[in-house]
Amino acid sequence: MGELITKDGLRLHYEEFGTGGRVVLSAMAGLFYPDGLQQALARKGYHVYCLTLRGFAPSSYVTEDYGERWYDVFAGDVIVLADSLGLDRFFYLGASHGAGIGWHLLWRYPERVKAFVAVVPGPHSLEAGVMSYRQMLLQGLISAPPPFDPPTDDPDRLARREKREAWLKSLPKADPLEKQVDYGRPLMCCGTEERLREVLRSLQTPTLILGGTDDPISTPALMTRTACCLPDCRLVMYSRSGHNIDTDIPEELADEADRFLQKY
């Protein structure tokens, strides 16, 4: 693990997995689950760096509300990590809101990303609003998110889900400053669904979308819309899989991601 300091003086925490020569950067709000897709990819020979975003422990908390700029700021922090590692170009892997950062990397820093592995990436239609599910829960606007994953009788999946739930329960309680962060949704600065699609059509970076047919958040319809917009995209959807697909079947996703990344 390591730390770096941004130009505005914030501390960013990252973890490191694997020692291969092909570098993958990933980012999310909070600590990464220690036995998910990132670690499975590291076991395949990739050098994976997992960045905890500003505003979330163990990175620095923030009190500033970046409004529509949250994902641009997050993308900039990924670039800070890449620069600190001496990387001119890198692979980016993100799941859910972490994939949202990927869209902003491809939009704002297209020359830096060689290829993008986008797991349950949406992005949400702006017609459905811009508040994150996380913040809707914290504010009591919804009592619970829709079920992230379909039922299963697969013993391996059940064991992985039990292990993940135990890990989540072991995490320390979030600081009030962390709870105040509402990073919204990717590309919300576009304002309209039409403009969002225009931006997606402009992204030239090779992209692999991985998702599940039973995901209520990044729905198959959303991911299909995104794949149809992107000039260079491969879409792979798994049946009987939901929003936590990256921890439900990490080895299968790592196999698919490896086949894709080997081309670049």
Q: What DSSP line would sit under 100-148, residue for residue?
A: HHHHHHHHH-TTTEEEEEEES--PPPGGG-S--HHHHHHTTSSSSPPPS
CA distance linking residue 52 with residue 112, whole number of Å: 20
In this structure, of 71-80, 129-138, 168-177, 227-236, the range with the lowest mean pLDDT score is 129-138
Tens digit of each residue's pLDDT (9 = 90 or more) over 124-134:
887 766 666 66
CA distance linking residue 158 with residue 161, whole number of Å: 5
Q: Which domains does the chain have, with CATH numbers?
A: 2-261 (3.40.50.1820)
Q: What DSSP line would sit under 181-220, residue for residue?
A: -----TTGGG-SHHHHHHHHHH--S-EEEEEETT-SSS-H
Cis status of the peptide bond prior to 220, with omega within 30 of 0: no
How far apart, in Å, are the Cα atoms of 74 and each of 213, 223, 234? 28, 22, 25
Q: Output the six-digit token pair for 166.
A: 């135990």
Residue 64 makes CB contacts below 8 A (sequence gap 6+) with none
Tens digit of each residue's pLDDT (9 = 90 or more) over 23-53:
999 999 999 999 999 999 999 999 999 999 9
Can you give the pLDDT at residue 216?
92
| Model pTM score | 0.94
CA distance linking residue 23 with residue 49, whole number of Å: 8
Summarize the confidence of residues 46-68 as an average pLDDT. Answer: 96
